[in-house]
Amino acid sequence: MTLEDLGYNSELENYRKEKNLDSFAVGRVISEHKERYIVKTDEKEYGSEIIGNLRFTAKDRTDFPAVGDWVAISEYNDNNALIHAIFPRKTVIERQAVGKHGEKQIIATNIDCAFIVQAVDRDFNISRIERYLTICYTSNVAPVIILNKIDLIGEAELKELVTKVQQRIKQVPVITMSNENMEGIEKVNEYIKKGETYCLLGSSGVGKSTLSNNLSRKSVMKTDTISTSTNKGRHVTSHRELLILENGGILIDNPGMREVGITDSESGLKNTFDTIMNLSRKCRFKDCTHTIEIDCAVISAVEDGEIDRSSYENYLKMEREKEHFETTVAEKRKKDKNFGKMIKNYKKQNLKNN
Ligand SMILES: Nc1nc2c(ncn2[C@@H]2O[C@H](COP(=O)(O)OP(=O)(O)OP(=O)(O)O)[C@@H](O)[C@H]2O)c(=O)[nH]1
Ligand SMILES: [Zn+2]
């Protein structure tokens, strides 16, 4: 195993030299659980935590390591290491943090290409594909659509589904496959290049784990857990979330990939709904919301059937989610600022009184 097998490249090596990180070892975060990280190097895996300085300078959760990150570490015993620095992230897939409005949570970093997996039976839903697509475009991750479980439907039905997808989503490759009879798996493999990192996005039950098993050398997914002793004498067991695939690609399979909410996804929405975006230039009002305005080019196009109505409705829904996220962030900032002011005044007051 070399670092290159894990996706290390000259860009990262240049950064290491530039920042004088030569005295540290380099590894990739392959799992995270409650601020304990498993970092894989070319030699072994370490249970790791971050150094105090990294914690104190962190502005929010996104400054903490995440699965997929490259990190500089120092070994402090055979099994454990300290994380001193996180290398710059090429891409970041993040979502609205569960239960914490206006906060982001990183799901995985440094992903080159995402497979958006959907099953052709009950799960099939183009709006959901558009949602994952928006997430990909927001994070600069190249998308590929996989329609799985094609063994469950007939050829004609499949053809119809593919046409439907391609009518609404242009310029994204669509692969049809089955884990059951292995049809189409080789088409998935064609997209996987050595040293590049991939992930599977999709709802529960669409066949992601089965597919990653089929793509990886060994069936390690659900069976293989690793146990790492911590400095506190505890044992942490965690699933490996990063796999090396048969043809040298790296696959991140992370539980967070199942439900991914919209954050500040301006660029993602623009790319996913490019037809709507292009048309909106023809609306009478510059700030047209394409809902109630007169002379709205988007509404006209929906009425003429030029834009699919469910695609339009999906766009409006995600736009609202995006706005909700942004408003919450703005309100939070204001609150934090007011709180900061209060502390400052309090300190001033204290100085005066003493
Ligand atoms: N008929 C059929 N069943 C499949 C196919 N792929 C997966 N399955 C079945 O679908 C079920 C769910 O598959 P998983 O691979 O666990 O799905 P998942 O997306 O990983 O689900 P989560 O782990 O909950 O996110 C299992 O019973 C699989 O055997 C397929 O191509 N055809
Ligand atoms: Zn409009």
- pLDDT tens digits along 199-230: 999 888 899 999 998 998 554 433 334 444 44
Contact 35, 278 (CB under 8 A): no
Is residue 210 in contact with ligand 1, taking CB distance under 6 Å? yes
Atom number of ligand 1 nearest to Cα 148: 31
pTM of this prediction? 0.80
Does the structure's ipTM exceed the value 0.95?
A: yes
What average pLDDT does the segment 303-324 reach?
Answer: 90
In the prediction, which pLDDT does 194 show?
94
DSSP labels for 41-71? -SS-EEEEEE-HHHHHH--SGGGS--TT-EE
Structure confidence at residue 258 (pLDDT)? 63
C-alpha to C-alpha distances, 248 to 1, 288, 327, nearest whole angstrom: 11, 48, 43
**CA 289 to ligand 2 centroid distance, Å:** 6
- Supply the pLDDT for residue 193: 95
How large is the angle between the packed helices 309-353 and 126-138, nearest 10 degrees?
40
In whole angstroms, what is the distance from residue 87 CA to residue 65 CA?
10
Between residues 44 and 344, the one the model is more confident about: 44
Res 89: pLDDT? 97
178 labelled binding-site residue:
no
d(CA 199, CA 66): 14
pLDDT exceeds 90 at position 40: yes
What does each C-alpha distance from 58 to 63, 144, 146, 224, 343 come to in angstroms?
Answer: 5, 34, 37, 33, 20
Higher local confidence (pLDDT), 259 or 169: 169
> Where does residue 225 rank: exposed (0-12), middle (13-18), buried (19+ CB within 10 A)?
exposed
Per-residue pLDDT, averaged over 346-352, amounts to 72
* H or E, element range at 148: strand 142-148
Indicate which ligand has the atom closest to the C-alpha of 201. Answer: 1
Q: Are 276 and 307 in contact (CB under 8 A)?
A: yes
Average pLDDT over residues 38-62: 92
How confident is the prediction for the chain on average, in pLDDT? 86
Q: Is the per-residue pLDDT at 337 higher than 80? A: no
- Which chain residues have CB less than 5 Å from ligand 2, an ion? 283, 288, 290, 296, 298
Lowest mean pLDDT: which of 97-101, 249-253, 315-319, 336-340? 97-101
Rounded to whole angstroms, the Cα distance separating 214 from 147 reads 16
pLDDT of residue 76: 92
Q: Helix 126-138 to helix 155-168 angle, to the nearest 10 degrees?
A: 50
Read off the pLDDT of each residue in 147-162 and give the average, rounded to a whole number. Answer: 96
Mean pLDDT computed over 331-348: 75
Residue 327 banded pLDDT, cuts 50, 70, 90: confident
The pLDDT assigned to 259 comes to 64
Query: Does the CB atom of residue 148 touch ligand 1 within 6 A?
Result: yes
Mean pLDDT for the stretch of residues 85-106: 83
Structural domains of the chain ordered from first start: 4-86 (2.40.50.140), 92-257 (3.40.50.300), 266-353 (1.10.40.50)
Ligand 2 center from residue 291 Cα (angstroms)? 7
- Rounded to the nearest angstrom, the distance between the alpha carbon of 204 and the centre of ligand 1 is 8
Query: Residue 178 above 70 pLDDT?
Result: yes
How far, in Å, is the centroid of ligand 1 from the Cα of 256? 17
| Residue 327, phi then psi, degrees to nearest 5 | -65, -45
Mutation to probe ligand 1, out of 179, 219, 223, 239 (largest number of atoms < 8 A from CB): 179
Task: Please report the pLDDT score of residue 88 as a whole number.
Answer: 96
- Residue 261 is predicted with a pLDDT of 65
CA–CA distance, 282 with 317 (Å, rounded to integer): 21
